[in-house]
Structure 1
Amino acid sequence: MSFERGDIVEMKKPHPCGTNSWKIVRMGMDIRIKCTGCGHSIMMPRKEFEKKMKRILERAEPES
């Protein structure tokens, strides 16, 4: 599955604030995602992120 910086993704488990959507803020070997509900951000290895991600809810607009 391909994802880009700025995409809104759904994770398998919801965040304690009740929201299940996250925005991809940083990409590399590690991926930083930010909760769209409360703004909490976490960083995790790419492999773990790919395992925990359910689907892409909203694609980021392409930069021109």
Structure 2
Amino acid sequence: MERKEFALGDVVQMKKPHPCGANEWQVIRMGMDIRMKCVNCGRSVMIPRSQFERQMRKVLRKAETGEDLEG
């Protein structure tokens, strides 16, 4: 299986939408676990990297330089 390419600050689309209805997530922390923030409501969740890579469909927008990730 091919590894999916994503980086800190990217906005990605997941297989299942968030309960608020949005399906866009911003990657705000990377490591063994991935923390991502819902673009619509701002809620953040942390999931294991293996689960994230299985559930991620595609990168919608690449990270912009100098962007505030925790804000």
TM-score (normalizing by structure 2)? 0.84
Q: How many residues are aligned here?
A: 63
Alignment gaps of 5+ in structure 1: none
1:8 aligns with one of 8, 11, 35: 11
Percent identity over paired residues: 56
1:55 aligns with one of 52, 55, 58: 58
Structure 1 stretches (4+) deviating beyond 3 angstroms? none
RMSD: 1.0
Partners of 2:22 and 2:37 in 1: CA distance = 11
1:24 and 2:30 are equivalent in the alignment: no
TM-score (normalizing by structure 1)? 0.93
Partners of 2:42 and 2:22 in 1: CA distance = 10
Alignment gaps of 5+ in structure 2: 67-71
